[in-house]
Amino acid sequence: MRKIIVLLFLVFIIKLDAQYSVKSTFQATLGVGVSNYGAPQFLALDYGLFRDISLGLEFNNRYSNETFLKYRILGAHFNANYHLNHLLKIYDEHWDLYLGGHYNYWLVTENVKKIEVDSANMGFGGQIGMRYFFNRHFAVNTELTAGKVSTDHFLRNESAIVGSFKLGLTYKF
């Protein structure tokens, strides 16, 4: 009887360990957010390389309507995330907690109707987020990001801190 209990316990542990891997999973997230540089709409794509590490791309579009200036920002982010479920011993398959870093590139247009770009911005930062899966495929995603952006706007070399809160819907393939 004791051998059967030990065997069932081992099978249960192996099953738990297998459920919380992001390796070879592909996820797409579509969402909106708020930030100190406009309201972003974004599409994020993530692929799990290892058990707890994923790489991804995010494409976003932001509009801002400040007092004297309206502008549009088109951006792309490359990110790497470490998924914390194993580290924090969270064995509930509905939760996915992660933190990571990103490198971004933005094209800024100062007039929303104009096509040509006025400046290019590059930067880096970090994010922390979580997903809650309703079933095997769909999840709600929240993320806090902060980063530093260097600009070459009108030949001035400046930098700014950009922060945002994003909310989205994730589909896991």
| All domains in the chain, ordered by first residue | 2-172 (2.40.160.20)
Mean pLDDT lowest among 9-18, 96-105, 162-171: 9-18
More confident residue, 83 or 6: 83
pLDDT given for residue 54 in this prediction: 94
Q: Contact at 8 Å (CB) between 28 and 170?
A: yes
Residue 110 in tokens: 């100062």
Task: Grade residue 23 by pLDDT with cuts at 50, 70 and 90.
Answer: confident
pLDDT given for residue 154 in this prediction: 47
d(CA 124, CA 72): 20
Task: Grade residue 67 by pLDDT with cuts at 50, 70 and 90.
Answer: low
DSSP string for 55-91 = EEEEEEEEEEE-SS-EEEEEEEEEEEEEE-HHHHT--
d(CA 124, CA 103): 4
d(CA 132, CA 168): 11
Mean pLDDT of 155-167: 76
HSE toward the beta carbon, residue 173, CA cutoff 13 A? 10
Residue 152 in tokens: 């070459």
d(CA 24, CA 20): 12
